[in-house]
Amino acid sequence: MEKLMIAGGYPLKGTVRISGAKNSAVALIPATILADSPVTIEGLPDISDVQILKGLLEEIGGSVDFAENDMTVDPSSMISMPLPNGKVKKLRASYYLMGAMLGRFKKAVIGLPGGCHLGPRPIDQHIKGFEALGASVTNEQGAIYLRADELKGARIYLDVVSVGATINIMLAAVRAKGKTIIENAAKEPEIIDVATLLTNMGAKIKGAGTDVIRIEGVDQLHGCRHTIIPDRIEAGTYLILGAAAGEGILIDNVIPQHLESLIAKLREMGVNIEAGDDQIFVSPAERMKAVDIKTLVYPGFPTDLQQPFTSLLTGAEGTSMVTDTIYGARFKHIDELRRMNANIKVEGRSAIINGPIRLQGAKVKASDLRAGAALVIAGLKAEGITEVTGLEHIDRGYSHLVEKLNGLGATIWRENLTKEEMEQMKNA
């Protein structure tokens, strides 16, 4: 096991290229199950979630070729193999195997998903959708059993706006008989990306990106080529980093419209931002003003950037409040930032940050993916050395993080954990 070592205080400048979107990738890869001939996805990020999904497709008989960020999946020999344990437990998005396998085979057995611990993360809306389409869904010893004689289109109103449920219902419905309408659907760009792939495979989908999605089921889907969208959360992380510790960073391969809420907040703080067609230039404010943020569903401020943004706010003048309305317990990074000298307290769903504070390097632990990003940003602007454990979480979602940061002038490297640190991790 490794940890991340960061020598803080080096100003970052230059260009960083954004990889394909993790939260698209983890749905696009399972979506290939629905085709009857090879599907190629171009521009996938080099992250462990993608590798795990590749392994899962191979377990069910898929032939997968993955080289230089492009993956070709031949789904023709896949079977509905039960996946109650093992790799499915390693990532949240393994729930997309439910929708995709149900859509193709009308049955699936999938272990309850793992992923980041952000408080309760139910999948009741996914199940509500599958049942509305005619499937029986049972939970047997920690695995979800889905069975249907046939899937029939239905009108489904989501009680909670959910990215995962919207995509999962789309996956199950594209090969159902008749029309499905998903109301109160999520509108994230990743949903449009998945709908675009499915449409290229022959599906009939209208309205992806709005809160009503209409799907006309088809009997068969075929192979195609698809290029993934850039990762707005990775791009947002580098934007925040550019504001926190940059001397002028150009973010390349980004869709600025996907980041409007973040850009507006950064400008409110006094950060300089110039947005082009597929690039954004960011340089820090002379004096950074405190602001309040509240996470909301897209196009509101993304919960996935709340943690990195908190690290930035430690350097702002005044009191800021961060409220997470999506995951009220997504605050495990706060104790770690406090170890680095931050002045933050948590009250209910909000964190209250007083600044500006000069952060100090410390030994800290990433409890989840975006907490990891928050600690890396804090470490890069802190005085002295910061050691971040829990690197496996960061590797789930940030492609070539160390290489990209060193390319911007950071001093950051990976080191093996010592025996004592391994012991401490086991006992924690």
Q: Which residues bind ligand EPU (CB under 6 A)?
A: 23, 26, 92-93, 116, 121-126, 160, 162-165, 186, 233, 303-304, 326-327, 369-370, 397
Alpha-carbon span 326 to 304, nearest angstrom: 10
Q: Least separation, in Å, of the C-beta of 128 and ligand EPU?
A: 8
Q: Is 116 considered catalytic here?
A: yes
Question: Would you call 97 helix, strand, or coil by DSSP?
Answer: helix
Q: Least separation, in Å, of the C-beta of 168 and ligand EPU?
A: 9
Q: Which of 57, 100, 108, 116 is catalytic?
A: 116
Nearer to ligand EPU, 290 or 388 (CB): 388
> Could you tell me which of 233, 175, 205 has the C-alpha nearest to residue 24?
233
Q: Least separation, in Å, of the C-beta of 265 and ligand EPU?
A: 17
Alpha-carbon span 165 to 381, nearest angstrom: 38
Phi-psi bin for 202: left (phi > 0), alpha (psi -120 to 50), beta? left
Q: Least separation, in Å, of the C-beta of 202 and ligand EPU?
A: 24
> Could you tell me which of 282, 241, 242, 305 has the C-alpha nearest to residue 23?
305
Question: Would you call 341 helix, strand, or coil by DSSP?
Answer: coil
Nearer to ligand EPU, 169 or 273 (CB): 169
> Could you tell me which of 63, 62, 123 has the C-alpha nearest to residue 98?
123
Nearer to ligand EPU, 74 or 304 (CB): 304
Contact 416, 1 (CB under 8 A): yes
Phi-psi bin for 278: left (phi > 0), alpha (psi -120 to 50), beta? alpha
Determine the Cα angle at 69 with ends 67 and 204, to 5°.
110
Q: Which structure tokens are listed for 38?
A: 């090879």
Q: Least separation, in Å, of the C-beta of 37 and ligand EPU?
A: 26
Nearer to ligand EPU, 250 or 297 (CB): 297
Q: Least separation, in Å, of the C-beta of 303 and ligand EPU?
A: 5
Nearer to ligand EPU, 326 or 342 (CB): 326
Q: Which structure tokens are listed for 179?
A: 């029309």
Contact 312, 244 (CB under 8 A): yes
How many residues can be counted in the chain?
A: 428
Q: Least separation, in Å, of the C-beta of 241 and ligand EPU?
A: 16
How is residue 230 annotated by DSSP?
B
Phi and psi at residue 338, to the nearest 5°: -65, -35
Name the pairing type of β-strands 179-183 and 63-67: unpaired
Nearer to ligand EPU, 92 or 381 (CB): 92
- What is the number of other CB atoms lying within 10 angstroms of the CB of residue 122? 10
Nearer to ligand EPU, 185 or 290 (CB): 185
Q: Least separation, in Å, of the C-beta of 212 and ligand EPU?
A: 17
Phi-psi bin for 310: left (phi > 0), alpha (psi -120 to 50), beta? alpha
Nearer to ligand EPU, 142 or 276 (CB): 142
Nearer to ligand EPU, 5 or 255 (CB): 255
Q: Least separation, in Å, of the C-beta of 332 and ligand EPU?
A: 12
Sign (positive or negative) of CA dihedral 331, 91, 54, 173? negative
Place of tokens 């001939």: 37
Question: Would you call 257 helix, strand, or coil by DSSP?
Answer: helix
Name the pairing type of β-strands 318-324 and 350-355: antiparallel
CA-based R_g, the chain, Å: 22
Catalytic residues: 116
